[in-house]
Chain A
Amino acid sequence: MAPAQTADEPTAGAGNRERLFAAINRADAYLQVLGLGWLTPLFRMAAGDSPRHQGKALWQLLGVPLVAILLFLAAWGALAPKVQTSLGAVPGPAQVWDQVGTLWQAHKDERAKAEAFFERQEVRNAARLADDPTADVRLRPYTGKPTYLDQIWTSLQTVFMGFMVATLIAVPLGIASGLSKTVSAALNPIVQIFKPVSPLAWLPIVTMIVSAVYVSDSPMFSKSFINSAITVTLCSLWPTLINTAVGVASIDKDLINVGRVLQLSWTKTVFKLVLPSSLPFIFTGMRLSLGVGWMVLIAAEMLAQNPGLGKFVWDEFQNGSSASLARIMVAVFTIGIIGFLLDRVMLALQAAVTFSTNR
């Protein structure tokens, strides 16, 4: 490793070493964002910093969380078997881990079935063509049940769709209401009333309207996807809108005045002054929105039986088999971990885009 070598030469390497530590410190900022802050003490140790000093930092950043997780698992494993439900004892960590394996195996089995399905279809299509060369043969998509991984993918697509639409609506509205007191006054009551509405209340309305309006013979998206995505949009709109408005309204007045003096056009004002200086706020809003959207999505999928992780949870609850509780817990962890990762991705994006203004 290069850092270790440089540390061997104290005289000539002093400058190098300083540069190395500076690099580590710079990297630390990114690592923190990615949730990998515990790597820094390891790097520092590798670069020759005192192991005692860095060991303490490592313990804080890595050891304590690990111990906490182990304690949590131990408590869970010890307490779970004591709670008897009608589906048997509450599963402990081992049973839940087992189900991860089962779900993965089910995914592979389903893929094999899909392959067989396409083979049979090709045979059938070939037969039809042989019978009638003008026959309209197409390869139909697989009709089997979506696996756990498919459900995760569906949920991710839905949440991003809903979140993007929400952002596209919320940011312009937020800017308008931040720039103009009139617009702000007009929007405020609507925001206040709709912000606290639960997805479960939106869903019936959305479902009815989409069913009535979205009529097409060859729809690009399925209705269930549109329903879930719009519900996510309606619920995740508000944090971005409010934060954008606040961000825009709190821009340094001098900056706006400079713009006036330079006689910048309206578009230039928005894109060169307003947007850059309110970006940190906008991103904070978007981060909150994505978090809300993810929570909302699961609830919407459970209620409306739209494909995704929520449906998986509900189906398992309805199955009532001895493995159901463990499978639901797998879903709970998946939802939690994905939610955490989404948040980190947004944070990283925020750090990347707003670097100059934030630091």
Chain B
Amino acid sequence: MATRHDTAAPPAKEGGAAPGRPPAAGLPEKEQRRRARLSRRWQRDVRWSPYAFVSPFFLLFLAFGLFPLIYTGWASLHQVELTAPTDMDWVGLRNYTRIFDDDFFWNAAKNTLTIGIISTVPQLLMAMGIAHILNYKLRASTFYRVAMLAPYATSIAAASLVFVLLFGRDYGMINWALDFIGIDPVDWQGDKWPSQIAVSSIIIWRWTGYNALIYLAAMQAIPQDLYESAALDGANRWQQFFHVTLPSLRPTILFTVVVSTIGASQVFGEPLLFDANKGASGGAEHQFQTLGLYLYEQGWVNQHLGRASAIAWTMFLILIVIGIVNFVISRRLRASSEEFRP
């Protein structure tokens, strides 16, 4: 919102927030000088204090945000190993150009995309359904809401270790259950799609409740009279959901889609811990190696700091592209939803 200048306070001038003072004339010269000094101090205070107040963020950002970003960019133009980080050989854009024919990078990018889709889509659909159910009047609703958030509060490590056991090929509970109903055991770690589904299930388990609570909060902000009038018009629960709830949730849905997309493109902990070999190669044939995992493998396992930096920057650029696409789509959607507003 633009500032309304007729009602807003005028910008601070001389003396700032200090109470106005009568003109200093008539006072002894010493007192006048003292007042002038005080006034200057006030001016400096008013002028610079706000910067001091916001500086902690910027100092931290400089140290832990901007510097690493620039350093990574610098390192990505060199051949440099983690064993001797000061020993840099300039190679120009070679680390970037070789990404183009790096099969492992594109394999990881493809995996990130597929894992992203098979984890995000069911996750958001389920979250919506759960939120809708929780939105009814229920006994012990607080308990259910807290229970929804419990997986989110569990550490990824603990969750993944349990899932590794569940998805075990030879002694896992899921294969045991499948065997019970007459289905052959699935190699949840060795085969491409099963392993990606298994990794996605960890992500879904962890984040569904979180998204459900966001949807629930948005649903509770929908005015009750909309439902009442819909009910008067003879709309049943499903029709109410599709014609009242969903349209009202549009901004919230967009928000969760954006956040989940960013999360999905950075998936790392789940596939790392799901790997039976405790390596970062994402399975014997790299079948569930994500970009985050590949970056980690190059940097921290193989210790190629330069290559890892180039991958990091490439991922950063990809994320920016995804961000722009999201922005464009959301603007289109917003425009179209405004068109239909009564």
Decide if A and B are genuine partners: no
Q: Which residues of A contact B (CB under 8 A)?
A: none
Q: Which residues of B contact A (CB under 8 A)?
A: none
